[in-house]
Amino acid sequence: MLGPFDPVRPVEEPALGCRIARVPIRHEIRGALLWIVVDGDYDDAELRATWEGAFADPDFREGMLTVIDSRKTLANPSRAGVLERADLLARLRSRIGPRCALVVGDALHYGLGRMLAAFSAESGLEIQVFDDPARAEAWVAGAAGAPRR
């Protein structure tokens, strides 16, 4: 069994005993933007570890605008779970800047994203939900780009 901070999970055993692993949630620095990319299911410890890893990245800068790409997420948090994520983002607000774009892949996650945006509004973090990563990136960087719906 993997430990709570081990973000690598095996997905198959190919020939010659080599393991192919996927990372369910990771960060990427793309120019002036921090991307949090979700690929499958993850737990709260993996989520926190991903943010900590992003902040420790030498390319990270305080106030870096963020895009969360959750098009491949398997998570379907409850209302309480969405509220917990909003609280986490509120605590991170001073480190990630005033805008966060959320990219989703289906109507359920669009609704969950809108709920996250509503819960996050009081913290001063503006979240918009998109189905197109290019539009999300344009909006978070301050260029024209409208929400998905």
131-140 confidence digits (pLDDT tens): 999 999 999 9
Query: 49 CB contacts (<8 Å, ≥6 apart)?
Result: 5, 7
Is the pLDDT score of 144 beyond 60? no
117 inside domain:
yes
101 inside domain:
yes
pLDDT value at residue 147: 46
40 inside domain:
yes
pLDDT value at residue 19: 53
The domain tally of the chain equals 1
Q: What percent of the chain has pLDDT over 90?
A: 73
- Domain range for residue 83? 22-140
CATH code of the domain in which 60 resides? 3.30.750.24
Is residue 117 very low, low, confident or very high in pLDDT (cuts 50, 70, 90)?
Answer: very high
Q: How far apart are the first and last CA of the chain?
A: 41
123 within 8 A of 88, measured Cβ to Cβ:
no
For residue range 62-102, list pLDDT tens digits in order: 999 999 999 999 999 999 999 999 999 999 999 998 999 99
132 inside domain:
yes
3 inside domain:
no
Stretch 41-65: mean pLDDT: 94
Query: 136 CB contacts (<8 Å, ≥6 apart)?
Result: 67, 69, 101, 102, 103, 128, 130, 145
Stretch 21-30: mean pLDDT: 86
- What average pLDDT does the chain have? 85
Stretch 107-136: mean pLDDT: 96
pLDDT value at residue 115: 98
